[in-house]
Structure 1
Amino acid sequence: MSGLVLAGGGHSHALVLHRWAMQPSKRPSGLITLVSRTSTALYSGMVPGLIAGIYQHDQVAVDLRDLADQAGVALVVAEITGLELQNQLLRVDQRPALPYVRLSLNLGAVTSANPVPTSGLVPIKPLEPALDFLGEQDRQMDEPAVATSPFQVVGSGLAAVETVLALRKRWPRRPLVLQIRPRHLQPVLIRALREGSIQILETSELDPTGEFMTTPGLICTGSRAPHWLAESGLPCYPSSGRIRTEASLQVIGQPKLFAAGDCAVIDAQPRAPSGVWAVRAAAPLAHNLEAACEGRPLQRWRPQRQALQLLGGFNKGHPTAWALRGSRLIGPHPLLWHLKAAIDARFMAMFRRSRSMDSAETMACRGCAAKLAAGPLESALQQAGMATLGTQPEDAAILPMNTAAGSTPVLQSVDGFPALVSDPWLNGRLTTLHACSDLWACGARVLAAQAVVTLPQATESTQETLLAQTLAGIRSALDPQGAQLIGGHTLEARDGLAQPPPSRAVQVTLSVSGQALEPFWPKAGLQAGDRLLLSRPLGTGVLFAAAMAGATPAPALDLALAQMGTSQHVLLEGLLDLQSEHPNGIHAATDITGFGLLGHLGEMLRNPALKVVLNGAHIPALAGSISLLAKGFASSLAPANRRAWSLLDNGGVDLQLTGLEPGSKRHQALLELLVDPQTCGPLLISVQADIAQVLTTRLQSPWTEIGSVQTR
């Protein structure tokens, strides 16, 4: 078991994952986990072009989730907060620490100078908040006071020059100021700045009372490693916080720890932090991580003393570049920009796999898309003499027990599925929220749960880590509800060793119990005049199906996971409060899961005197899902779910196509959305019109009215 944790999604680690994706035999066996603050990593060489607006975000971002999947590595998206060397634990924000046997650190850097609290300055690193800040400035540019006010960049290095020139391309007419130390820039750069109408302000230090200290801007005053590295007791340079390593990239005095990139420096061969060195460190880092996990000798790496760096810029709105080797600066020249652009494009091309639908079509989907199709399920129940469980299903059942008159009934449900994500903590949380929604859909508060966790065959330490993280994820969903995990059972799979990462082979099933006020909300309680409300958008099935082919944009999957990981028990409490004010106003409810919106709506529509009118234009969809459906991507359960389309042919559901051309790709995508299987999907409620009005007009209400119930 490797027990290897890669902390940070920097250039070195991205290239290590690429190596293991291309050459799986080189990947160490056992559980390997990548921990990153975000699911994407921005390629630093193209960030100036991103700031300038000539690149889009997806052109400069490495999709770490997709890359980790290809490499057989688990991905944990979380902020790293510290390190416990003695206990060999990596601390992460708002979740349990991750144990490791070996740890590799490739964390990038943060801006070395902190902004003055009274200023409008934002550090350039980390990049994501700085880019969000620039986006906010863009949104305010329609205001004359903003468009004509100065924007400043503080810093005397080449990164500051690249940034302010990129901003000139982004904002051709906005006043720009570059604050630098006196006599620090070469004349050729001074000339380029002046040609870009950028005001140069020479100052020895930031002056909190200065002319520009209240204007917005970016701080580009060099970088340092994250502070928690030194605070954890690692050997770091006091001035930069960078970790001191041996030539093998092992941390000095810590043979089980490795470090590379901007957060580290080889003690005997110091090099300035640069993306160039981070990229070149990847091969020796990968080799030594593999060797350390296998007990082989490590190699020493001696990076070359100097490397050619290409710096991007803009002259009269056209891209140009300088070449820097040592202290010698050549340029600017457009041909150097073309060379830089070609090198950058070649680097990013390594991380883009072929966007075919083959794997999405042949690989079985996970999550609730792994549910048995409705047809064979109903047939099996009928053969077993339990047909009513298929023809008159409910999300939860009242326990058949003797209760005192007037007491609140106890409801129970069970749910679970194969791991949807490689992060065992997140998978435990998602599975629990999914199981709890069966009770929420009945108007029941969750009281307790029991879990069955099936683990892959692996070393004891790996199984211990997977189980501990899974149980912690389950509790993270139960605790805010005041519910308890009261027990359960563990199993070890008997299908042989799982494909990496082993966290993908974890399966969680939960039995959840709760109580509801009578009458609890049934599925088949629709009444004429009701309005149908949906609590969140659809589309998780196709997003995860397309992700198996690498076709789902990372931001779309991030948004879906954020929605899925948000508990809907708060919505339940709001509905219960509303029900106390409007008794019997909520007539029916269900949660939308494996059979899709149309399949579960069919379970509700059992009264032949009623029909449902759906407004297709009002059915909310997660970002990216409609376009993927239009391209032909679909969950592996979707073909079986399409039998629910029969409801649209005089089966009780009237789909209105306001604004849609019948037979168009958009129409077909909507039909597919209706049968897309959902994991942690929305609640669907059928309520009186006055309650619908209250719910949909509340501030920041998640409820969307998608249709109504009418008599035939």
Structure 2
Amino acid sequence: MQPSQQPPGLPALRDIVLVGGGHTHVGVLKRFAMKPEPGVRLTLICRDTHTPYSGMLPGYIAGHYRYDDVHIDLRRLAEYAGARFYSDEAIGIDHDARTVLCRSRPPVSYDVMSINIGSTPRMELVGGAGDHAIPVKPIHRFNDRWQTLLHRIEEHPGQTRVAVVGGGAGGVELLLAMQFRLGKELAARGRDPAELSFALYTRGESILPTHNARVQAHFRDTLVRRNVAVRTGTDIVEVAAGRLKDADDHWHDADEIVWVTNAGGAAWLRDTRLALDDDGFIQVDDTLRSPSDPRIFAAGDIASQIHHPREKAGVFAVRQGRPLADNLRAAVTGRPLTPYHPQAKWLALISTGDRHAVASRGGLCLAGNWVWRWKDSIDRRFMSRFMPQLNDLPSMPEGPAKPLGANRVPLDEAENDQAISAAAMRCGGCGAKVGASVLSRAIANLAPVAREEVLIGLHAPDDAAVVRVPPGKAMVHTVDFFRAFIDDPYVFGKVAANHALGDIFAMGAEAQTATAIATVPQGLEAKVEETVRQMMTGAVEVLNEAGCALVGGHTGEGSELALGFAVNGLVDEDMTEVLRKGGMRPGEVLILTKPLGTGTLFAAHARLAARGRWIDAALKNMCQSNRQAAACLREHGASACTDLTGFGLLGHLVEMTMPSGVDAELDLAALPILDGAEETAAAGILSSLQPANLRLRRAIHDQADWVEHPRYPLLFDPQTAGGLLASVPANRATDCLEALRALGYDRAAVIGRLEERSRKPTDEPTSIRLTV
């Protein structure tokens, strides 16, 4: 059973928002997963779905680990913890409104917030560094650049000079890992590893300055033995293309420059009220709370404990997980906070790239291959607690739902009345509407696109909207409605609007107006308002982009979040531009504009069996409008078109071939498939709609021969906001695909062709032949 942060029937009373997916917040999520706080809802805002474990990153660079070995799947972990995962980046704080400002979504409300975003390279301190050097942080960008560098060196022979700026443990360890991996790759290709030369630059007089002399000596000897040029006492003050300049005006040649120094706090923190230290890190007291805003906590590298300054090291971030979780819980339940005192000495295990490592703690120095094995064991044990395999996440204790009185969140009189009302039996009929004041506040800042045909709409709300039909136009009507399948109301709003618009675009119509119908779970007025605001902001962004005016709607209470739209479109009265399902002709080819697999992927997501990046890619496709694709298909002579939704590819194809009187051949190998969909389908994780769609399998010629093919189940996979399926003249298909891909439909493909009908009588299903 999927864990749930809130027992059924208990509304969210307080919001804890976690900004950033660092090691400390990973620990917080795990602790709340194992012991939920009734009435408390967690939201994680993070740009990256997969966060690397810093202790294993050098091993990944060296080639000892795969990507998934060293990355924690935050979307999966958040789902396990019952937390909402918002894929975005914080760029500010509105302390008065208690909201986190985000780069590409509406502000997110919080009652208590924690920041764990790591440090940021201060490239602006050195001229040209931002343009010509590769910063090791943020790590996701470094990984992209590392993969590019790895490919370039592997594929293009010749002398390459690599410079690493930063002589701390991070810089030395990274350099040795890069050297080991690149040398190994060159040797595997029969090339001389001596093509590569490495140099380390540090302004200090010694490398690893925070470690003891024996550790420093060991790494100094290792660098010499590995022919690395070490430039101590060298302060780099300028970077240009292919070279670096030191403080003595000497230039040093380098083809690749990696930056592992001058880290500080993110620039946006300077515009908040938070107290920062000289490097821009958030100052916190012994409870990890900001002294300048008692609602905000910070941990990990971004935090600087006022009374216990420490080196930036992953060990502190990991160990802050428990005290931070406890203090966040205490902050929303009105209990005293507990101080956290970090240890004065800690064990550091530093690798040399070649499965050899050094243990450093105070005056201790132990080295050997056995130390690397020890480190590997510790790291793997840590990661096993958060790995993306379903069975690696321990089962959450199950039990009866706690009553409202079991929550420990202190409420004022108005909130208490709202909470009791939300948990009690609700009225039906019009009594189930969301309150007018809540709704008006939630939609106050929506700005639907203006259309001159809208005579009465949201700009002057009345009992109903009044819309004029332009002369010479006919109306196209459609409606779609479904419950939320993800925990992000903003993204859900975008997907729901795209899904509803799909029918309009598939018929070649112009979207004109839409009315919304939504159900929202009961709860405190502020929480309901926030949900409606997030969801309708996402929806209106999509509607506006399509030129479709939101003119009204209805919002009521329900057990689950759900959203739908009745959409009106316009076509020419003579119907010459209308694309219908029944216009297919033999000899034409079938084009699909988006990949398949949303049904199985989100079924797997609900069971914690889908990787976060698979869900990211699926949502990106679902948020892509079909408007431009529809216009492109018409321009290239499409004779029939439909959008793929709940009936799946085969169901919609039969809907087209039957009235067209044609048969079809589908090439399973040509089907565009979302990443992960084949894996989840092969595991038997399928949508609840799949059995109903399977009834059409009799349309498949020799279907018994294909049931074991890995892509066979995906023929019946129900799609949400799926792509367009169209028939196009064969001689125009290549140009059509090129145009679609230029518009951003990167996975558009020819998936089959149409043939003369073979089956008689006409009431029998048309024949769908499969091939590879």
Match of 2:663 in 1: 611
Q: Is the 8 A contact 2:584 2:660 kept in 1?
A: no
- What is the aligned counterpart of 1:546 among 604, 607, 615? 604
Residue among 696, 701, 711 paired with 2:737 = 696
Post-superposition Cα deviations, 1:573-617, rounded to whole Å, max 9, x if no partner, equal: 3335x16xxxxx322111111111001111112248421111222
Matches within 5 A, 1:139-218: 139-144=151-156, 147-172=158-183, 173=193, 174-181=196-203, 183-185=205-207, 186-202=216-232, 203-208=234-239, 210=245, 211-212=251-252, 215-218=255-258
Distance in 2 between residues matched to 1:124 and 1:405, nearest whole Å: 58
Whether the 8 Å CA contact 2:128–2:238 is kept in 1: the answer is no
The answer to whether the 8 A contact 2:585-2:660 is kept is: no
Question: 1:342 offset after TM fit, Å?
Answer: 1.1
* Alpha-carbon distance in structure 1 between the residues aligned to 2:51 and 2:561: 27
* Preserved contact between residue 72 and residue 388 of structure 2 (Cα < 8 Å): no
Report the 3-state secondary structure (helix = DSSP H, G, I; strand = E; otherwise coil) of the residue aligned with 1:454: strand
Offset from partner CA, 1:13-72 (integer Å, 9 cap, x none)? 111111122223xx3524321100111211111111111111111111111111111111
Query: Is 1:453–2:508 an aligned residue pair?
Result: no
Q: Tell me, in whole angstroms, the C-alpha distance in 2 between the residues paired with 1:214 and 1:169.
A: 18
Q: Does 1:57 align with 2:112?
A: no
Question: Alpha-carbon deviation of 1:9?
Answer: 0.8
For residues 672 and 103 of structure 1, the distance between their equivalents in structure 2, rounded to whole angstroms, comes to 43
User: What code does the residue aligned with 2:268 have?
Assistant: W
Contact 1:120 1:213 in 2 (8 A): no
Residue of structure 2 aligned with 1:536, choices 594, 610, 631? 594
Asked if 1 retains the 8 angstrom alpha-carbon contact of 2:518 and 2:562, the reply is yes
| Partner SS state of residue 287, structure 2 | coil
Provide closer, same or farther for how the CA distance between residues 220 and 353 of structure 1 changes in structure 2, counting only shifts above 3 A: closer
Provide the residue aligned with 2:39 in structure 1: 29
Shifted more, 342-351 versus 691-700: the winner is 691-700
Instruction: Determine helix, strand or coil for the equivalent of 1:511.
Output: strand
Kindly provide the amino acid, as one letter, of the partner of residue 616 in structure 2. D
Tell me if the contact between 2:515 and 2:551 (Cα under 8 Å) persists in the aligned partners.
yes
Query: What residue in structure 2 maps to residue 513 of structure 1?
Result: 568
- Is 1:91 equivalent to 2:130 in the alignment? no
Q: Aligned in 2, Cα 1:608/1:356: closer, same or farther, shift over 3 Å?
A: farther
Between 689-698 and 120-129, report the one with greater CA deviation. 689-698
Post-superposition shift, 1:460?
0.7
Q: For the residues of structure 1 that align with 2:253 and 2:364, how far apart are their CA atoms?
A: 31
Partner of 1:230: 270
SS in 2 for 1:674: helix
Q: By how many angstroms is 1:429 displaced?
A: 0.5
Describe the SS at the equivalent of 1:331: strand
Give the 3 Å change call, closer, same or farther, for CA 29–615 of structure 1 in structure 2.
same
> How big is the shift at 1:213?
5.6
User: Which letter maps to 1:637?
Assistant: L
- Compute the TM-score of the two structures, normalised by the length of structure 1: 0.85
Measure how far apart 1:295 and its partner are: 1.1
Preserved contact between residue 384 and residue 392 of structure 2 (Cα < 8 Å): no
Query: Which stretch of the first structure deviates more once superposed, 168-177 or 55-64?
Result: 168-177
1:648 to 679, 700, 725: 700
2:82 matched to which residue of 1?
72
Equivalent in 332, 350, 358 of residue 293 of structure 1: 332
Q: What amino acid is the match of 1:294?
A: T
Percent same amino acid at aligned positions? 33
Corresponding letter in the other structure for 2:369 = P
**Structure 1 residue 467 corresponds to structure 2 residue 532:** yes
SS of equivalent residue, structure 1 residue 336: helix
Instruction: Answer whether contact 2:512 2:568 (CA < 8 A) is retained.
Output: yes
- Once the two structures are superposed, residues 396-446 of structure 1 have per-residue CA deviations (whole angstroms, 9 ceiling, x without a partner) of xxxxx9999971211111112111211110010011111111111111121
Moved runs in structure 1, 4+ residues, more than 6 A? Answer: 356-359, 401-406
In structure 1, the gaps of 5 or more residues are 360-400, 496-504, 580-584, 656-660
Residues 357, 590 of structure 1: CA spacing in aligned structure 2 closer, same or farther, 3 A cutoff? farther
Query: Secondary structure, in 3 states, of the residue corresponding to 1:708?
Result: strand
Task: Pick closer, same or farther for the CA change 1:358–1:541 going to 2, 3 Å.
Answer: farther
Structure 1: distance between partners of 2:717 and 2:366: 55
Partner of 2:720: 679
Distance 1:540 1:188 in 2: 53
Instruction: Give, in whole Å, the separation in 1 of the partners of 2:731 and 2:565.
Output: 36
Instruction: Find the residue that maps to 2:150 and give its secondary structure.
Output: helix
Say whether residues 1:522 and 2:561 are aligned partners: no
- AA aligned to 2:668 is G
CA contact (8 A) 1:151 1:177 kept: yes
**What SS is found at the alignment partner of 1:527?**
coil
**Counterpart in the other structure of 1:398:** none
Native 8 Å contact 2:648 2:693 kept in 1:
yes
Out of 324, 327, 349, the position equivalent to 1:310 is: 349
Query: Is the counterpart of residue 710 in structure 1 residue 755 in structure 2?
Result: yes
Contact 2:101 2:108 in 1 (8 A): yes
Q: CA deviation at 1:516?
A: 2.5
Please list, as runs of the form range in 1=range in 2, the aligned pairs for 1:578-657 lying within 5 A after superposition: 578=635, 585-607=637-659, 609-649=661-701
SS of residue in 1 equivalent to 2:101: strand
1:122 to 113, 134, 144: 134
Secondary structure of the corresponding residue to residue 141 of structure 1: helix
TM (normalized to structure 2)?
Answer: 0.79
State the match for 1:13 in structure 2: 25
Change (3 A) 1:508 1:212: farther
- C-alpha spacing 1:404/1:216, structure 2 compared with 1 (3 Å): closer
Change (3 A) 1:129 1:353: closer
| Distance across 1 between alignment mates of 2:499 and 2:740 | 26
**Structure 1 residues 160 and 403, CA gap change in structure 2 (3 angstroms):** closer
CA distance in 2 between counterparts of 1:670 and 1:692 reads 24
- State the partner residue of 1:441: 506
Q: Give unmatched runs, 5+ long, in structure 2.
A: 1-12, 184-192, 208-215, 246-250, 395-465, 758-772
Is contact 1:357–1:633 with CA below 8 Å preserved after alignment?
Answer: no
| Alpha carbons 2:80, 2:608 under 8 Å: kept | no
